[in-house]
A = this chain, B = another copy of it.
Amino acid sequence: MNPLDALVEQPVEWLRVSGPESDIVVSSRLRLARNLFGVPFLQKLENEQKVEVIETVEKAIRRSPRMKDAHYLKRAQLSELDLQFLLERHLISREHVEEKGEKAVAITSNEVVSLMVLEEDHLRLQAFQAGFSLMDTWRIINQIDDDLEKNLNYSFSASLGYLTACPTNVGTGLRASCMLHLPGLVLTKQVHKVLQALAKLNLTARGLYGEGTQATGNFFQFSNQTTLGQNEDEIIDNLAAVIRQVIEHEKEARRYLVEKKRVKFQDQVWRALGTLRSAHVISSTEATQLLSLVQLGLQLEILKGALTKQELNLLFLLIQPAHLQKLSRKALSAPERDIRRAELIRQKFQKISL
């Protein structure tokens, strides 16, 4: 049996547990880019060399106390659907899905840590935590990085730091990011101002699924742009300081909606719920947008009901194309998915009174 199938109906741990400020910060993520010393960067790798890298990394993982029980899945074991499924769970990147040729991914059973092998760099190590937990996440990823480094020889320059395929990652190889849920700033039309300010601070905002996806809807992934010339603490502190400000703006926007725009806001939340309860055809974009409004309504007690945060978080995952197909145990075309998605959502919302 495909080890991924067992994961379908449970949310990744960082969606299951609650973290600091988790009404606004969905998750914190750190990623380290590493390359093996003496092995060309991915672009120049022959197929056999790729296989060697995958095996070298596997050995290191099996010797690493915190990664030794991880699933290690190679390209041949992963269907297109599996790759899409892992992307929807943020365990791999869109680049890793699209990268041709040999590749692999290691995933710890709680899905807190994943290691992409042969994405843009030889290794892309990621760790997630629920809520606004960058320092916790840093401790986790740093320990695993140290573990792996005992068994892997990384490309490192005393003057530049870790060497990476793309110059923006040279140095620490660290990208720190937080996934923010900012419906308040979107509804009060302030989000563009926030995104413009970010750009000036050398931070970027992306959509739900990382690089190359637009920051549409109410979810935004904020991360540092470059890593050279800053140490890890500086990168994290810098991002955290900005996120803290964005959290305050979002809280203020939410207060404004509840206090000053209550009638209209209530109408928007209830209409979203009404559509989710009634639609017979719905895209994942629309469903995500409407679920976001319902989540905000629950958080601000415009809606009160038996729907837990965990159930709602799971639903955000289950409505994604690959999850929907895994759940249905068959391939579904896009129009079939839109019908199945609407059915699933109606079922979930019929059970609960709000």
Contacts and interface: CB of A to CB of B under 8 A. Distances in A.
Given A267-B342, A273-B278, 4 more contacts: A270-B279, A271-B279, A271-B280, A274-B275
**Sorted from nearest, which 9 A-B pairs have the closest CB atoms?**
A274-B278, A274-B274, A267-B280, A267-B281, A270-B278, A266-B280, A274-B275, A270-B280, A271-B278
Contacts of A187: none
Nearest to A266: B280
Nearest to A272: B278
A339 B264 CA distance: 10
Contact of A275 (B263, B266, B275): B275
A266 B279 CA distance: 9
Contacts of A280: 263, 266-267, 270-271
Interface string A323-354: 00000000000010001001000000000000
Contacts of A271: 275, 278-280
B279 A277 contact: no
A173 to B, nearest CB: 47
Contact of A281 (B264, B275, B339, B342): B264
Contacts of A279: 267, 270-271, 274
A300 to B, nearest CB: 14
Interface string A110-136: 000000000000000000000000000
